[in-house]
Amino acid sequence: MLYLVGLGLSYKSDITVRGLEAVRKCSRVYLEHYTSVLMAASQEDLESFYGKPVILADRELVESGSDKILTNADKEDVAFLVVGDPLGATTHTDLVLRAKRQNIAVEIVHNASIMNAVGSCGLQLYQFGQTISMVFFTENWRPDSWYDKIMENRKIGLHTLVLLDIKVKEQSIENLARGRPIFEPPRYMSVSQCCEQLLEIEEKRGTKAYTPDTPAVAVSRLGSASQHFKAGTIKELSQYDAGEPLHSLVILGRQCHELELEYLLEFADDREKLRADVLADQEYFKPAPWVPPAEEEDSD
């Protein structure tokens, strides 16, 4: 059996009871270590808690060396641990499909993830549209395909969850080209850098999927003891220090319910300004009033 087990957001004890029972009976335990990290638990903490070794699985192992993970999984129990929920990333779905093609039984143990815990910022999950990922820009690579998804969300009034890039066990282009197994220090995108990139692409596109005055919510260390939220405009948050990682961002949609707004005001430095910014933003993409079609004149 292959078990895909969600670990939750922060602590070693965030794992479910069913997930812990599965892990403790497995002969091998892998920890996916590139889409996110468990903020309040180290590899050693997990090994002590589970009572067995934990193998770190980087992107290369999961995407290119999955056969190693699946070796003998038809004869023994293997656990693949994922921070958050197991199906939060496409590569994990691919691992499930690979296992099924080899007639390996799969059991998925779900857990809390950023996708549902983001409701802690006060915005209703029913009002979220497509989620996007913001990657680190480089000198020669500044992708902006996510812009169209924000535009689509905003046109129908929905909020956009922005997941911020992390770089763990990544090689520089030079070391990669030279085949040197030298890895860069871990990097975690901040809210301010994300907002700067948002503003850069809006200036480039110029079609106002959002503006510097569009309200947003900075989400810091969600699920940990130091989780924090800050509501402001994209421009204001581009100058905001959100502290230690991990960070996320939510761009508000036009349809911000009064209850959502009241909740958000708790996270604003200037409550009246935020209220005014949200009300002003609701005019963007506001549907035109319905006008009944003109009745055709009787020809008789």
Query: What is the per-residue pLDDT across 126-180, written as a single tens digit (0 to 9) for each?
Result: 999 999 999 999 999 999 999 999 999 999 999 999 999 998 766 556 665 666 6
Provide the token pair at 276.
């005014």
Three-state SS for 3-61 is: EEEECECCCHHHCCHHHHHHHHCCCEEEEECCCCCCCCCCHHHHHHHHCCCCEEECHHH
- Do 164 and 105 fall into the same domain? no
- Do 240 and 196 fall into the same domain? yes
**Strand order across the beta sheet in which 106-109 lies:** 55-57, 28-32, 78-82, 2-6, 106-109
pLDDT value of position 286: 83
Strands 132-134 and 2-6: unpaired
Provide the token pair at 272.
């009246």
Q: Which of helix, strand or coil describes residue 85?
A: coil
pLDDT value of position 35: 84
Find the domain containing 169 and state its range. Answer: 115-283
pLDDT value of position 62: 83
Q: Any binding-site annotation on 163?
A: no
- Do 268 and 120 fall into the same domain? yes
pLDDT reading at 92 higher than 70: yes
Q: Which of helix, strand or coil describes residue 247?
A: strand
Query: Sorting pLDDT into bands at 50, 70 and 90, what band is 36?
Result: confident
- Do 176 and 81 fall into the same domain? no
Q: Provide the 8-state DSSP code for 207.
A: S
pLDDT reading at 221 higher than 60: yes
pLDDT value of position 88: 84
Q: Please tell me the distance from the alpha carbon of residue 296 to that of residue 241, in angstroms, as a whole number.
A: 61
Position 200 in a domain: yes
86-90, 93-97, 114-118, 133-137: least confident range: 86-90
What is the secondary structure of 200-233 as a DSSP string? HHHHHH-S-SS-TT-EEEEEESTTSTT-EEEEEE
pLDDT value of position 179: 67
User: Is residue 17 packed enough to be buried (19+ CB in 10 Å), middle (13-18) or exposed (0-12)?
Assistant: exposed
Taking a C-beta distance cutoff of 8 angstroms, is the pair 221, 214 a contact? no
pLDDT value of position 56: 92
- Do 128 and 248 fall into the same domain? yes
Q: Please tell me the distance from the alpha carbon of residue 234 to that of residue 160, in angstroms, as a whole number.
A: 13
Read off the CATH number of the domain in which 62 is found: 3.40.1010.10
Q: Please tell me the distance from the alpha carbon of residue 198 to that of residue 238, in angstroms, as a whole number.
A: 9
38-52, 113-127, 132-146, 182-196: least confident range: 182-196
Q: Any binding-site annotation on 114?
A: yes
Q: Any binding-site annotation on 85?
A: yes
pLDDT reading at 33 higher than 60: yes
- Do 188 and 145 fall into the same domain? yes
Q: Which of helix, strand or coil describes residue 270?
A: coil
Provide the token pair at 140.
């020669």
Position 288 in a domain: no
Taking a C-beta distance cutoff of 8 angstroms, is the pair 241, 192 a contact? yes
Q: Any binding-site annotation on 4?
A: no
Q: Please tell me the distance from the alpha carbon of residue 102 to that of residue 116, in angstroms, as a whole number.
A: 32
Q: Provide the 8-state DSSP code for 261.
A: H
Position 27 in a domain: yes
Mean pLDDT value of segment 9-20: 97
pLDDT value of position 110: 97
pLDDT reading at 234 higher than 80: yes
Position 297 in a domain: no
Q: Provide the 8-state DSSP code for 126.
A: G
82-91, 97-106, 283-292: least confident range: 283-292
pLDDT value of position 284: 82
- Do 95 and 131 fall into the same domain? no
pLDDT reading at 292 higher than 80: yes
What is the secondary structure of 127-187 as a DSSP string? GB---EEEPPP-SS----THHHHHHHHHHTT-BEEEEEPEESS---HHHHHHT----PPPE
Q: Provide the 8-state DSSP code for 108.
A: E
Q: Any binding-site annotation on 113?
A: yes
Taking a C-beta distance cutoff of 8 angstroms, is the pair 57, 33 a contact? yes
What DSSP element (H or E) covers 71?
A: none
Q: Final residue of a domain: which of 95, 112, 129?
A: 112
Position 177 in a domain: yes
- Do 131 and 254 fall into the same domain? yes
- Do 66 and 212 fall into the same domain? no
Average confidence score pLDDT of the chain: 92
Q: Please tell me the distance from the alpha carbon of residue 203 to that of residue 255, in angstroms, as a whole number.
A: 24
Provide the token pair at 185.
């220090």
pLDDT reading at 300 higher than 60: no
- Do 138 and 186 fall into the same domain? yes
- Do 55 and 148 fall into the same domain? no
pLDDT tens track for 38-50: 999 999 999 999 9
Q: Final residue of a domain: which of 60, 94, 112?
A: 112
Q: Final residue of a domain: which of 97, 112, 127?
A: 112
Position 291 in a domain: no
Provide the token pair at 122.
């006060």
Read off the CATH number of the domain in which 253 is found: 3.30.950.10
Q: Any binding-site annotation on 247?
A: yes
Number of domains in the chain: 2
- Do 246 and 181 fall into the same domain? yes
